């Protein structure tokens, strides 16, 4: 009987001690570990060394350089008689591009020539009479009044002759302007008119009808728009690289030639226009293509880097990471300083060493 009571008492003590130990262990676990290792499985990154590049990438439009592109307009109004080149055709400076109908001007020229001939006859007659009157006046055979009248008739005839000659020169000049010639060597890239169309000369009140556009395609540019934050990193003569969709595997070179001094808005984003001169133009590059331009800002070789998603801001707005915890431990917060930041990687300047592992998600106890 005593032995049985003793066994029962011993069992109760063991059972109570086990329960107490379990409570203590549970209590310690709650204070020492809030996160299991499984919670962080495959959610950490390792500090690695690599070359990290700070760059600005924007899209731009390729077009002929305006300094080597000419909008061709006629100097006189008229009907288009003939168009010689077609779009894409190469032309040389002085080549006839468009011929205007000259029938009315030829008639006007004939009339002007007749007027000149008549004025010449009148001038010759007035000159003979004036010279004769001068001799007679010297011999005192005519009055001074009659002599002055002959002189006046001669001057009037001379003036009429000069005016008729001026009209003839004007008609001849207009006839020459019916042949519209190329001002530069290049290619026809726009031809908005057709034969038979009546066009207005640029010498009139308005700007005149655009006949065609000729451009030197050996010199082209890229026009792009850079936001007001990134423009501080862009300088004139800065080297750039770019790609075009049609030849994606090739990398082309250019240089910044113009930075607009004033801001403008594009797609509701305020920024600055930047013009890039294309170097060593490839024949695969054509006007109207879209270019993806890369402006190299800074390069750091053999730098310590982490994914951008591993960097957090703490309550003091300091940049921090959370070191990967060991089992049964909490993650440790580590303050760091950073350098170059790209769209997916960050340069680590201090606070970590190569090989350190950090969490990619912020621990729950650190979240607000």
The domain spans of the chain are 33-54+301-366, 57-66+216-297, 69-100+179-215, 102-177
Confidence of residue 341 (pLDDT cuts 50, 70, 90): confident
Confidence of residue 329 (pLDDT cuts 50, 70, 90): confident
Joined together, the tokens standing for residue 289 give 């293509």
Q: Is the pLDDT of residue 188 over 80?
A: yes
Is the CA virtual torsion 251, 257, 260, 261 positive or negative? positive
Distance CA 237, CA 277 (A): 9
Mean pLDDT of 144-169: 94
Q: Name which of 58, 54, 51, 61 is nearest 233 in CA terms.
A: 54
Confidence of residue 204 (pLDDT cuts 50, 70, 90): low
Helices (H), 2-102: 2-32
Q: What is the CATH number of domain 69-100+179-215?
A: 2.40.50.100
* Of residues 344 and 206, more confidently modeled: 344
Confidence of residue 168 (pLDDT cuts 50, 70, 90): very high
List of residues 6+ apart from 266 with CB closer than 8 A: 225
Distance CA 219, CA 262 (A): 25
Mean pLDDT of 29-52: 64
Confidence of residue 351 (pLDDT cuts 50, 70, 90): very high
pLDDT in tens, 290-315: 999 999 988 899 999 999 988 998 88
- Angstrom CA distances, 219 to 64, 245, 254, stand at 6, 20, 11
Total Cβ atoms within 10 A of residue 327: 8
CATH architecture of 33-54+301-366: Beta Barrel (2.40)
pLDDT in tens, 44-102: 899 999 999 888 999 999 999 888 899 999 999 999 999 999 999 999 999 999 999 99
pLDDT in tens, 102-152: 999 999 999 999 999 999 999 999 999 999 999 888 988 888 999 899 999
Confidence of residue 206 (pLDDT cuts 50, 70, 90): low
- What is the radius of gyration, based on Cα positions, of the chain? 45
| pLDDT (0 to 100) of residue 331 | 84
Q: Are 37 and 327 in contact (CB under 8 A)?
A: yes
Label residue 206 exposed, middle or buried (CB < 10 Å: 0-12, 13-18, 19+).
Answer: exposed
Fold topology of 102-177: Helix Hairpins (1.10.287)
Confidence of residue 200 (pLDDT cuts 50, 70, 90): very high
DSSP secondary structure letter of residue 331: P
pLDDT in tens, 130-142: 999 998 889 888 8
Q: Is the pLDDT of residue 32 over 60?
A: no
Confidence of residue 25 (pLDDT cuts 50, 70, 90): very low
Distance CA 46, CA 40 (A): 13
Q: Are 306 and 45 in contact (CB under 8 A)?
A: yes
E strands, 260-359, in order: 264-266, 269-278, 290-307, 312-313, 319-323, 332-335, 337-341, 345-350, 357-359
Distance CA 60, CA 293 (A): 7
Confidence of residue 17 (pLDDT cuts 50, 70, 90): very low
Fold topology of 57-66+216-297: Elongation Factor Tu (Ef-tu); domain 3 (2.40.30)
What residue has token string 């850079």? 226
pLDDT in tens, 231-285: 998 999 999 999 998 887 789 999 999 999 999 998 889 999 999 999 988 888 8
| pLDDT (0 to 100) of residue 142 | 87
């Amino acid at each position: 009987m005593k032995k049985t009571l003793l066994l029962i008492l011993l069992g109760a003590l063991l059972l109570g001690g086990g329960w107490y130990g379990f409570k203590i262990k549970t209590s310690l676990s709650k204070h020492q570990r809030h996160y299991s290792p499984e919670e962080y499985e495959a959610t950490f990154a390792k500090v690695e060394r690599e070359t990290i590049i700070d760059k600005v990438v924007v899209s731009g439009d390729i077009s002929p350089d305006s300094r080597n592109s000419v909008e061709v307009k006629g100097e006189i109004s008229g009907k288009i008689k003939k168009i010689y080149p077609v779009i894409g055709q190469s032309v040389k400076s002085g080549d006839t591009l468009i011929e205007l109908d000259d029938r009315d001007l030829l008639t006007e020229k004939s009339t002007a020539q007749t007027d000149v001939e008549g004025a010449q006859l009148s001038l010759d007659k007035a000159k003979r009479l004036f010279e004769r009157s001068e001799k007679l006046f010297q011999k005192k055979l005519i009055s001074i009044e009659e002599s002055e009248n002959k002189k006046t008739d001669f001057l009037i005839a001379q003036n009429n002759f000069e005016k008729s000659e001026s009209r003839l020169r004007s008609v001849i000049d207009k006839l020459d302007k019916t042949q519209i010639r190329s001002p530069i060597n290049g290619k026809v890239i726009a031809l908005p008119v057709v034969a038979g169309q009546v066009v207005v000369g640029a010498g009139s009140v308005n700007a005149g009808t655009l006949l065609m556009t000729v451009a030197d395609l050996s010199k082209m540019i890229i026009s792009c728009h850079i936001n007001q934050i990134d423009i501080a990193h862009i300088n004139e003569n800065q080297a750039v690289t770019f790609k075009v969709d049609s030849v994606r595997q090739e990398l082309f070179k250019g240089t910044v030639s113009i930075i607009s001094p004033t801001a403008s808005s594009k797609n509701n984003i305020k920024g600055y226009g930047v013009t890039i001169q294309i170097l060593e133009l490839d024949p695969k590059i054509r006007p109207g293509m879209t270019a993806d331009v890369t402006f190299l800002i800074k390069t750091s070789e053999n730098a310590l880097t982490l994914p951008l998603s591993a960097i957090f801001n703490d309550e003091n707005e300091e940049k921090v990471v959370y070191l990967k915890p060991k089992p049964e431990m909490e993650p440790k917060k580590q303050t760091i300083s950073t350098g170059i930041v790209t769209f997916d990687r960050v340069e680590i300047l201090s606070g970590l060493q190569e090989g350190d592992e950090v969490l990619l998600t912020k621990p729950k106890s650190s979240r607000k």
